[in-house]
Amino acid sequence: MAIHQILIHPDPILREKSQAVKKITPNIWKLLDNLADTMYDAPGVGLAAPQIGVLKRVIVVDVGEGLIELINPEIIAARGKDVGPEGCLSVPGAQGEVPRAAAVTVRGLDRHGREREIKAEGLLARALQHEIDHLDGVLFIDKVVRWLENNPEER
């Protein structure tokens, strides 16, 4: 387990599409551990593998309800609309209002290769959508409808 440097926009790796994980190996377990360690150290509520320079479809999220690790996550259902504030560890100091689905169902694999389905709303839904965007080279700044003043206390 290790804390990695988080890539900062405009690093071109952040704009690349990540590859699906074909086989879960000890290297993928190590990646999950490193993502979680790096996310908690930052601190943040989510982190995607491309943010530490690894172009694999792997994310971690923790909005205060426990760590969620997902391999090859995909949004299989979405409903409603919610516009809310977002920031990103790869875009320090920037915050903006971003439209997202209000609720999502996400399917992916856990570290043991078991299928996992998560129904989420609120902050968890927002965080999952944000991190899955990273896997396709999309940053929240691409979707901002209104920029917010930087207020570190709100991060």
Radius of gyration, alpha carbons of the chain: 14
Q: Which amino acid is at 30?
A: K
Pair 126, 41: CB distance under 8 Å:
no
Pair 48, 138: CB distance under 8 Å:
no
Task: Select which of 65, 74, 86, 131 is catalytic.
Answer: 131
Q: What is the DSSP string of 79-116?
A: ES-EEEEE--TTSTT-EEEEEE-SEEEEEEE-TTS-EE
Catalytic (active site) residue 131: yes
Lookup: tokens for 137: 């080279």
Q: Residue 64 has what DSSP assignment?
A: S
Pair 140, 14: CB distance under 8 Å:
no
Catalytic residues: 131
